[in-house]
Structure 1
Amino acid sequence: MFSVLRNLGKMRHHQPRAQLSILCRGKPIGRDDLFAYTNGRFLVDEQRQLGRRYVKFDLDALCNVAAAVGDDSSPIASIEKMEGGFSKALLMKKENGIEVIAKIPCRIAGPASLTTASEVGVLEYVRKHTGIPVPRVLSWSSDSANPVGAEYIIMEKAAGVPLFQKWPDMAEIEKLELIKNLTKLEAQLSAIRFPAYGGLYLRADARDPKSHYQMLDDSIDASNAFCIGPSCDRSFHVEPAADSTQPSIGGNQGPWATTSQLGISIAKRELSRIPTSHSNRPAMFYQGSVDEQTQLLQSTISLMPMLDSHPTLSQTGQPTLWHTDLHMGNIYVAPDDSTRIVSIIDFQSVSVMPAFLQARWPEFLKPPQDYTAGLVHPKLPDGFDDMDEESKMLARREWSQAKVAKAYEVSTYLEDRPAHNAMHVPRVFRELFTRCGEVSEVGIIPLRACLIEIFQNWSSLGFTGSCPFSFTAEDISTHEAQFNEYQAWHEVQRLAQECLDTDAEGWVAPQLDIAEKRRQNSELLTMFIARMADEKSPEEARKMWPFPAEA
């Protein structure tokens, strides 16, 4: 790491050129366009979504920092804006031909200081303590009071080419070899046993007197350079409800020594966000009263201590660092050998968490619906020869996806047994942590479904003694009716997103026409209201639709 102060002397001699070339998707843009979000539009709540992704900074100061890094300082000649949903990424090319990446987090990513410091900590730890290839950090600052006016990281440009450029043309044997190489890299992360859950930081950046830090022992950090600190996950850094009667969780944002401490912190966080009065936004399904939400979270808190001694979770809950967003844009391979991974990027918001919450199929290797786990070779469906051509094409596509998913499953079993075991923990345990963290947003139904499943399958899930909560037959009957409404709403969300080629936030890719997408959305909503006329009033049907037409 190079500090900003160390580079100040060199920066004075390398002011950026007056005619700095700034591009985005191959087209010239102005300096102000660097601050705004231009990588798409939104069907709903657009001004708020754009505002959460707007970051202003001093471009000249950033160019000065980037110009000074490395062995040979050289002015920045051009910038290409590359933007994700949570950060600005600028490809900066120097006059001497060297390229570096400048990364600035957006407000939506969480606290910019923690987000920056944690990403640097993870990159440096992975680079120094594993053989996983990651970009080298050249300069960084987690204090927005710097000359740039925003937190930033300057890092090497990733070697190689993104996997998505190679994957379609790779032979099946090459894909299998790449998957094997990927699981070998992940196994290096599984082998490191951290002492606690939370964000991973350099000790030099563990300066916040309000935060607690857990030092690593010599077996995993002989240089004594790293520590576990507060989580940088944005879910832990939202203010409590203005009219909540529960106290704020304050500094209880990690690190956590046990699974139960982590789970209880999540539940208490949600308790602090339950408002005493309902919001004005329309409820799309039953979300529960304040008392119901409170009681359900208290039941969850009573369950959490039992997880620490659970025979399965005690084996798969080890604090593990993991890249939880592995897609083909984050994996770089050698140009002349698509099976060889030469760089993995985007460790923003990566943290140390229980292995059973971390291990997962990478995005591009996820199994299709009706996938059978275990030593079952994927096959084309029965009756394939009698299908029409379109059905055959879909069947071949699912078969192809099932084969690469199976390759990842088998390779993980052979190369990374801890991750394989963590992936096969009963689904309800992962759901418990996820749904507990959503109560203030989506209400009680998903979490209650988890608790009912645990109550009904207490012994078969590996628990001993008595369940600390219970549900009557009437409770379960009421829940099932309400869960059906929730599932119907959830299915409408999925279908709308699929038809409009968008996500839960209504994001529309920059190459698509936002006006045409809004017209399609309005048309689909009209059709949906008409189709639901026998079951729902127009107002009820409109509440189920994720993207209000007037937006």
Structure 2
Amino acid sequence: MARPILRKQREDGSARIIEEDTTEEELYRYTRYRWSCNEPENLAMRYRKFNISALLDAAVHAVGNGAKSCVKVVKCVEGQYNKAFTIIMDNGAEVFAKIPNPNAGPAFYTTASEVATRDFLCDLPLLRTILKLPVPPIYTYCSDPFNPVGAEYIIEEKAKGKPLGSLWYMWQKETQLGLVTRLVDFETKLTSVSFGGHGCIYYKKDLEKKAIQVYDLDARSYSSGDLVKGSPAEEFVVGPLTEARLWEGDRAMMKLDRGPWITPISYLTALGVNELQWAKTHAKPRTNPYQSLEALETPGEYISLLERYLQLVPHLSPGPSRTSLSHPDLHLDNIFVDPDTKQITCIIDWQSVSVSGLFFQHKIPRLLLPIRSYTTRNCLKTASDGSKATHDADGTSDLLRHYQHLTRLKNEQQWVAVTSPNRSLRIKPNSLLCGAWSRNDVFSFRHALINIVAHWEEITPVNAPCPIQFDPKELELHNDELEVVEGLGEVLHQLQDDNLIPLGGMVLPENYEQALHINNTVKEMFVNMAESESQRVLFSRIWPYQDQSL
């Protein structure tokens, strides 16, 4: 049997996708971007070896309809967490296959939960009839990495339509507004189904083997007023979260409380207790140049911050509230549309989708946020045929206002939850505490707690004293650190705004050597801004785009 043609997609730097020959080894490697620092570690987190022949056999078997072999494999433009392939059969049929990278989340749970969530939304008669969500059906999957493929995988229907990113910047404002309306309708449908807990959806049979705590789904559709019940619904449960931050590094081997939970306060408490348990066991003294070039930063302060966070939890919790599913990453590549009708045909990437309180969700879709100049200038090139591009700052603001207006009208419960007074202050510590020590960001976690103390009277409706305090010395040291952090942040954002180095240091392979040169030049300029020799050493140490050993 002839080997299939191997191809890969890549961006050409002008928002266009081109296809070219590739090798089997490149199917396993991450090739979309390179890193200006710590590249080996970043690539290792995204390398996944598997048995390509076994994957193709599984795809042929799943397709059926006379397909006997695969004639072509196209590696799709990569996201950060999965390998994705379009597989073309000898009879012309096409399917989409996805294999999670090591950084995607916990083995078994990540795939098992995604499959169960999508099946729940699309296969239950009541929800399929009422919601009609544009989710591609799954043909076959395996959540056990110890299979002939050698990795977990999902094989599903290829998404119909075109990625929104290939069309969005050529659309006129009226067309974009129509798409935003349909996005709000999609989110409203998800919110219309409530659940009895906070966690991820699984098949009951999958978690019974793990002997871990689960809760009944207790799902109710508010569109019909009916409880989602019956034999199919009883196959599902709410189980632990699959967020990578709860399973990273040493955490994967620890007995932590990853859910499910019934109340918001139990969720917030568990995150703090988990991190406290990790810090007491695994955090070690280290150098923190933001604070001192000589004295070591010890875990003691971090542990103290976590203990103070736990004292705040009863005041940060919104109280009992509805829980629902939400899609966490509605960006241009995850939304597919019909180029002619402009209707949404498919929404992909349901990995790590969870059931949570409305208070904790609702990230504004990324396509509605202001766009950095790097993206804007490249996307302008796609409108060179005379189409009217509407991605300028004013246009983005109009789209965001339209989105907010419709959410307020159509998705009232979501709107009330996310516009709760001081919501951003109250959820900030929760969003930062998991892994703050591991990613060298204790500063941001501390800053969030200090802000809560500073705005305590606005946060609490009753005249109660704040249960935690920061003494003058702590605040002085924090403000000194803040000055350095903000100064460096201005430099890094300027690099991105000038299209030199994106935040995070990821660049396209063809721009890698140029980015290294720019990085070295700008670092030297930054160090030369120092007013003393000790400050020069500090500026050199805190520059982020260099290997950690430097």
1:304 counterpart letter in structure 2? V
Alignment of 1:479 onto 2:456: no
Distance in 1 between the 2:347 and 2:228 partners?
A: 21
1:344 aligns to what?
347
Alignment of 1:60 onto 2:41: no
The answer as to whether partners of 1:263 and 1:304 remain within 8 angstroms in 2 is yes
Q: Summarize the alignment of residues 312-331 of structure 1 with structure 2, pairs less than 5 Å apart.
A: 313-314=318-319, 317-331=321-335
1:411 aligns to what?
406
Q: Summarize the alignment of residues 376-525 of structure 1 with structure 2, pairs less than 5 Å apart.
A: 397-425=392-420, 426=422, 427-440=424-437, 441-464=439-462, 465-473=464-472, 475-499=474-498, 502-510=501-509, 512-525=510-523
Rate the CA distance shift 1:500–1:526 in 2: closer, same or farther, 3 A. farther
Q: For each residue in 1:331-379, what CA deviation from the matched residue of structure 2 results, as whole angstroms up to 9, or x when unmatched?
A: 11112112x111101111222223222102110102589xxxxxxxxxx
Return the offset for 1:249: 5.5
The answer as to whether partners of 1:359 and 1:422 remain within 8 angstroms in 2 is no
Return the offset for 1:273: 3.3
Q: SS at 2:113's partner residue?
A: helix
Return the offset for 1:236: 0.8
Distance in 2 between the 1:420 and 1:443 partners?
A: 31
Rate the CA distance shift 1:395–1:156 in 2: closer, same or farther, 3 A. closer
Rate the CA distance shift 1:364–1:326 in 2: closer, same or farther, 3 A. same
CA RMSD of aligned residues (A): 2.7
2:543 aligns to what?
545
Return the offset for 1:73: 4.4
Return the offset for 1:497: 4.6
The answer as to whether partners of 1:54 and 1:106 remain within 8 angstroms in 2 is yes
Return the offset for 1:233: 0.7
Q: For each residue in 1:55-108, what CA deviation from the matched residue of structure 2 results, as whole angstroms up to 9, or x when unmatched?
A: 111111111110011351412111000121111001001111111111000001
Return the offset for 1:496: 4.2
Q: For each residue in 1:518-545, what CA deviation from the matched residue of structure 2 results, as whole angstroms up to 9, or x when unmatched?
A: 1111111112222334696332111221
Rate the CA distance shift 1:455–1:513 in 2: closer, same or farther, 3 A. closer
2:241 counterpart letter in structure 1? S
Q: Summarize the alignment of residues 42-441 of structure 1 with structure 2, pairs less than 5 Å apart.
A: 42-74=35-67, 75-82=69-76, 83-128=78-123, 129=127, 130-217=131-218, 219-222=227-230, 223=232, 224-240=234-250, 250-274=255-279, 275=282, 277-279=284-286, 283-285=289-291, 289-308=298-317, 313-314=318-319, 317-338=321-342, 340-366=343-369, 397-425=392-420, 426=422, 427-440=424-437, 441=439
Rate the CA distance shift 1:545–1:276 in 2: closer, same or farther, 3 A. closer
Return the offset for 1:121: 1.7
Q: For each residue in 1:284-324, what CA deviation from the matched residue of structure 2 results, as whole angstroms up to 9, or x when unmatched?
A: 4579642221111111112213444xxxx237x53221111
Return the offset for 1:189: 1.1
1:12 aligns to what?
none
1:467 counterpart letter in structure 2? C
Identity %: 27
Rate the CA distance shift 1:525–1:395 in 2: closer, same or farther, 3 A. farther
1:517 counterpart letter in structure 2? A
Distance in 1 between the 2:121 and 2:360 partners?
A: 20
Normalising to structure 2: TM-score of the pair?
A: 0.84
Q: For each residue in 1:251-290, what CA deviation from the matched residue of structure 2 results, as whole angstroms up to 9, or x when unmatched?
A: 411112221222222212222333453236x534579642
- Structure 1 unmatched ranges of 5 or more: 1-16, 243-247, 370-393
Q: SS at 2:201's partner residue?
A: strand
Return the offset for 1:501: 5.0
Normalising to structure 1: TM-score of the pair?
A: 0.84
Q: SS at 1:267's partner residue?
A: helix
Return the offset for 1:395: 12
Q: SS at 1:347's partner residue?
A: coil
The answer as to whether partners of 2:116 and 2:203 remain within 8 angstroms in 1 is yes
Q: For each residue in 1:16-50, what CA deviation from the matched residue of structure 2 results, as whole angstroms up to 9, or x when unmatched?
A: x4231010122211212211111221111111111
Rate the CA distance shift 1:263–1:172 in 2: closer, same or farther, 3 A. same
Distance in 2 between the 1:324 and 1:336 partners?
A: 27
Rate the CA distance shift 1:121–1:284 in 2: closer, same or farther, 3 A. farther
Distance in 2 between the 1:505 and 1:211 partners?
A: 37
Distance in 1 between the 2:529 and 2:353 partners?
A: 43
The answer to which of 92-101 and 253-262 deviates more is: 253-262
- 4+ runs deviating over 6 angstroms: none
